[in-house]
Amino acid sequence: MTADEAVGRLESGMTVGIGGWGSRRKPMALVRALLRSDLTDLTVVSYGGPDVGLLAAAGRIARLVTAFVTLDSVPLEPHFRAARQSGRLELTELDEAMLMWGLTAAAHRLPFLPVRAGLGSDVMTVNPHLRTVTSPYADGEELLAVPALTLDAALVHLNRADARGNAQYLGPDPYFDDLFCEAAREAYVSCEQVVDSAAFAPAGGPQTLLIARHCVTGVIEAPGGAHFTSCAPDYNRDEAFQTAYAKAAADPVAWGEFAGRFLSGDEDDYRAAVAAFTGEGA
């Protein structure tokens, strides 16, 4: 299916998990399709990068569940900052480990999982709904009970996938993409290349087959679909483009021009505009 078809199956108000980490292997083609749709009022769960920035700038996020938002080589995400500083974004701020255990609880159909994190910090203060749980064993420890982060849909981007939804990552880090898919009722996997299943083994060992088809709803072939974030080893982060993004995001007029140039058309238009931008810098 196409990215637009995948997004066409989502609804406003859904809880959507977005894979990747910071400005690394984000499903940006799917995020750009979200921006082209009229979906709104989303709860987004993400180890945040420009996915969060773009959706926040477009006013699509009702609530963000995250531990951070960063562009990695550019530490602070300008759209996220602007949205927070203007009070436009409802935030559920969790610790990195809490987010992982919340997704894990959802994947295992558990209501919560205990974690030694959050206690004593203001994560508890800004999330007054959080509860603790006392160990039923002799230690009697009181730990934080992270509620399951069950997702209506997960969006992830990997290097390779077959048409049935088995997906392979070839970079150094799986991030939490399999967990996002397992925590979701529907998962959409975009990939650099759709391949025959026979191509998986020669490309990498069995541990590179990160996502299994039983938890995948749709596969989208999207070459360059993580741009401008990294998708190692297929490509690194496009630092020149990211710098231009961050610079434009800091000013409404410049952002209007940037969005008009890169985000007003479809994915083919995006690629053509990026190619022209890259040519200018060469």
Which of 81, 185, 213, 271 forms a contact with another protein (CB under 8 A)? 81
Taking the least distance from each CB to another protein, the nearer of 52 and 153 is: 52
d(CA 222, CA 129): 39
Q: Please, which residues bridge with residue 197 across strands?
A: none
* Number of amino acids touching another protein (CB under 8 A): 42
> Is residue 87 a contact residue for another protein (CB under 8 A)?
yes
> Is residue 172 a contact residue for another protein (CB under 8 A)?
yes
What's the closest the beta carbon of residue 71 comes to another protein, in angstroms? 11
> Is residue 70 a contact residue for another protein (CB under 8 A)?
yes
d(CA 111, CA 263): 39
d(CA 113, CA 153): 21
> Is residue 85 a contact residue for another protein (CB under 8 A)?
yes
d(CA 118, CA 121): 5
Which of 28, 55, 61, 98 forms a contact with another protein (CB under 8 A)? 98
> Is residue 94 a contact residue for another protein (CB under 8 A)?
yes
Tell me the per-residue interface mask from 194 to 233 with another protein, x by CB under 8 A, - otherwise.
----------------------------------------
CB atoms < 10 A from the CB of 6, how many? 26
Candidate segments 112-120, 189-197, 238-246, 261-269, binder of another protein by CB under 8 A: 112-120
How far is C-alpha 195 from the geometric centre of its chain's CA atoms?
A: 23
CB 261 within 8 A of CB 267: no
> Is residue 250 a contact residue for another protein (CB under 8 A)?
no
Question: In the window 121-140, what residues touch another protein (CB under 8 A)?
Answer: 121-123, 125-126
Q: Are strands 167-168 and 151-161 parallel, antiparallel or unpaired?
A: antiparallel
Q: How far is CA 92 from CA 64, 66, 161, 232, in A?
A: 6, 7, 32, 30
Which of 31, 42, 57, 115 forms a contact with another protein (CB under 8 A)? 115
What's the closest the beta carbon of residue 228 comes to another protein, in angstroms? 18
Query: Sheet holding 112-115: strands in order across?
Result: 112-115, 142-147, 131-134
Kindly state the DSSP code that residue 72 receives in the 8-state scheme: T
> Is residue 100 a contact residue for another protein (CB under 8 A)?
yes
Q: Are strands 184-194 and 131-134 parallel, antiparallel or unpaired?
A: unpaired
Conformational region of residue 130, where left means phi above 0, alpha means psi within -120 to 50, and beta covers everything else: beta
Taking the least distance from each CB to another protein, the nearer of 75 and 206 is: 75
Residues that bind another protein (CB under 8 A): 21, 48, 66-70, 75-76, 80-81, 84-87, 93-98, 100, 115-123, 125-126, 141-143, 172-176, 179
